[in-house]
A = this chain, B = another copy of it.
């Protein structure tokens, strides 16, 4: 079983799907690990470190697809639509490709991978069950993004986060408002608290209150019915228009009292809910900073644009779409841990064993034998 790791070629992507520390576990499971030269360099992992851990180096991407029974990518074609298109000509029928694939957002790419007879495992589809936690790339990368978002806000903010009582007077702490208490939001809350900010947080799911408060932040709640706001996978789900309108008014009100707002409310595969209108964001004081972690899919903040810095009446609005990649060393370590656990779950007696009665395997397999096979994706494609 050859496991090949390619160098990521999405613009600005610094992560690598496998780090040297994960190589021994794969070797022990019977794999030969092939790493494209330079694959880990941008994340701080040198070729020699892979070799020292038992991997072999290969020259280029073509060789990786040629020799790999399994190909590891941070971003497969679906999450890398321009540069990744060339991979279609390299994929061999029956080849297992594992990585983030934007299955719910980029169905045409999934269909193309199916046409090439790839066996694509889309890691975004990992079920939110206990046994799969160690494989959950959305969670691990969101951890990084949540931390990073707070630093980014701190760098743009004309104030310090902590309260300081000095001989030169007392500086009041920065006020940070976090919307969405998923993994990214909770990490943002924790990081802002660490730095000494006064943190307020909101989540549409009433369950989130306890988690928010356990981190020392204040939980604010909108006094509207929000039952059934959580789907069975534990994600926030879509609600009605009337609700969102009231929510926007409420958000604007809270924004006006904060120096920083960080929004993390994304709904898998759908347009992100608009939480803060341009009118709402303008209620912040000049110098305030707003970070929209959902900017890639429409954004929680009306005025945000993906990967742009917007200045609006003295307010800085950022819409970073690949924050995890900005801390590539730790992000890659976590991703590598996830993908390695994922693969090992499909290895039995030193050989691949795709057991479709395992809900992790079945839940992530997007394409096989020339077809899109995942039930949810088939439904979206109007396939029987």
How many copies the complex holds: the figure is: 2
A265 near B: Cβ within 8 Å?
no
Are the C-beta atoms of A328 and B158 separated by less than 8 Å?
yes
Are the C-beta atoms of A154 and B151 separated by less than 8 Å?
yes
A164 contact set on B, CB distance < 8 A: 143
A196 contact set on B, CB distance < 8 A: 194
The docked-state distance in angstroms from the alpha carbon of A139 to that of B167 is 9
A167-B140, A194-B196 known; A43+B158 contact, CB < 8 A: yes
Contact of A330 among B136, B160, B191, B314 (CB under 8 A): B160
Are the C-beta atoms of B168 and A327 separated by less than 8 Å?
no
Are the C-beta atoms of B314 and A166 separated by less than 8 Å?
no
Contact of A152 among B140, B155, B168, B328 (CB under 8 A): B155
Which one of A224-232, A245-253, A331-339 is at the B interface? A331-339
Restricting to A327-366, which residues have a CB under 8 Å from any CB of B?
327-330, 333-335, 337-338
Restricting to A196-221, which residues have a CB under 8 Å from any CB of B?
196
**Other A-B pairs, 14, CB within 8 Å; known A46-B286, A169-B334, A194-B194:** A44-B285, A139-B168, A140-B167, A140-B168, A152-B155, A158-B330, A159-B329, A159-B330, A166-B334, A168-B337, A169-B337, A171-B330, A171-B334, A194-B195
Footprint of B on A, CB under 8 Å?
14, 43-44, 46, 133-134, 136, 139-140, 143-144, 147, 151-152, 154-155, 157-160, 162, 164, 166-169, 171, 191, 194-196, 285-287, 314, 327-330, 333-335, 337-338
